């Protein structure tokens, strides 16, 4: 049951190359038993929401899209059945810096609109600190802290300090605007 209430977005997106954009988005609702019309309507709504209007994008193949567009289709597919939780594993890592910033901004807007709880896995601390209300730091697969970005940055835990010291500097994002609804972890 938990699997059915969880949406997934991965770094490589995982779109089906033999399906159109619309088919990729409506596949999850169809697997959940939605009728074709309801699934198509939901796909069109989500494509619009992620900035890829059904015309002209619905009939395109994944190979005809840019990396940022493919990531947006993957996000639309993950949101297709309104999951309680969205798990994102390095979803922006393969994008160029400009596209990455655009997609992150678009994602923050969508997340604030929908209020979906998001668990974002990333090695980019700037990304984590700018997007999250809470940041967890793992060591050897175990969580050593989970707190606000400001608290993690100020942590006195030796392992957290060592982890942060080993990273390249990132912009001060502890005052970044957070989505109004739905936590990003």
3-state secondary structure the chain: CCHHHEEEEECCCCCCCCCCHHHHHHHHHHHCCCCHHHHHHHHHHHHHHCCCCHHHHCCCCHHHCCHHHHHHHHHHHHHCCCCCEEEEECCCCCCCHHHHHHHHHHHHHHHHHHCCEEEEECCCHHHHHHHCCCEEEEECCEEEEEECHHHHHCCCCHHHHHHHHCCCCCCCCCCCCCCCCCCEC
Cβ(182)–Cβ(114) under 8 Å? yes
CATH of 3-121, one of 3.30.1330.60, 3.40.50.12780, 3.40.50.300, 3.30.590.10: 3.40.50.300
Measured distance CA(1)–CA(23) in Å, rounded? 24
Extract the tokens encoding 118. 């998001």
Cβ(156)–Cβ(89) under 8 Å? no
Measured distance CA(82)–CA(116) in Å, rounded? 8
Give the least confident one: 29-38, 115-124, 136-145: 115-124
pLDDT above 70 (res 114) = yes
Model confidence band, residue 176 (pLDDT cutoffs 50, 70, 90) = very low
Model confidence band, residue 170 (pLDDT cutoffs 50, 70, 90) = low
pLDDT of residue 179: 38
pLDDT of residue 136: 92
pLDDT of residue 77: 93
pLDDT of residue 163: 83
pLDDT of residue 165: 82
pLDDT in tens, 29-74: 998 899 999 999 999 999 998 889 988 999 999 999 988 889 889 9
Please report how many Cα atoms fall inside a 13 Å half-sphere around the Cα of residue 159, on the Cβ side. Answer: 9
* Domain range summary for the chain, segments of one domain joined by +: 3-121
Mean pLDDT computed over 145-156:
92
Task: Tell how far CA 48 is from the center of its chain.
Answer: 17
pLDDT of residue 171: 55
For the chain, give the mean pLDDT: 84
Model confidence band, residue 174 (pLDDT cutoffs 50, 70, 90) = very low
Look up the pTM and report it. Answer: 0.76
């Amino acid at each position: 049951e938990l699997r059915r209430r969880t949406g997934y977005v991965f770094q490589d997106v995982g779109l089906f190359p033999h399906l159109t954009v619309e088919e990729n988005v409506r596949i999850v609702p169809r697997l959940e038993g939605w009728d074709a019309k309801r699934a198509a309507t939901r796909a069109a709504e989500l494509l619009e929401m992620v900035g890829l209007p059904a015309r002209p994008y619905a009939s395109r193949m994944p190979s005809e899209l840019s990396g940022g567009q493919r990531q947006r289709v993957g996000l639309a597919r993950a949101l297709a059945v309104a999951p309680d939780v969205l798990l994102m594993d390095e979803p922006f890592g393969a994008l160029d810096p400009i596209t990455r910033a655009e997609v992150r901004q678009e994602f923050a807007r969508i997340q604030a609109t929908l209020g979906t709880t998001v668990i974002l896995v990333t090695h980019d601390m700037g990304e984590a600190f700018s997007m999250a209300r809470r940041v967890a730091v793992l060591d050897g697969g175990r969580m050593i802290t989970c707190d606000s970005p400001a608290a993690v940055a100020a942590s006195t835990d030796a392992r957290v300090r060592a982890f942060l010291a080993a990273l390249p500097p990132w912009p001060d994002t502890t005052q970044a605007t957070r989505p109004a609804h739905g936590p990003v972890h």
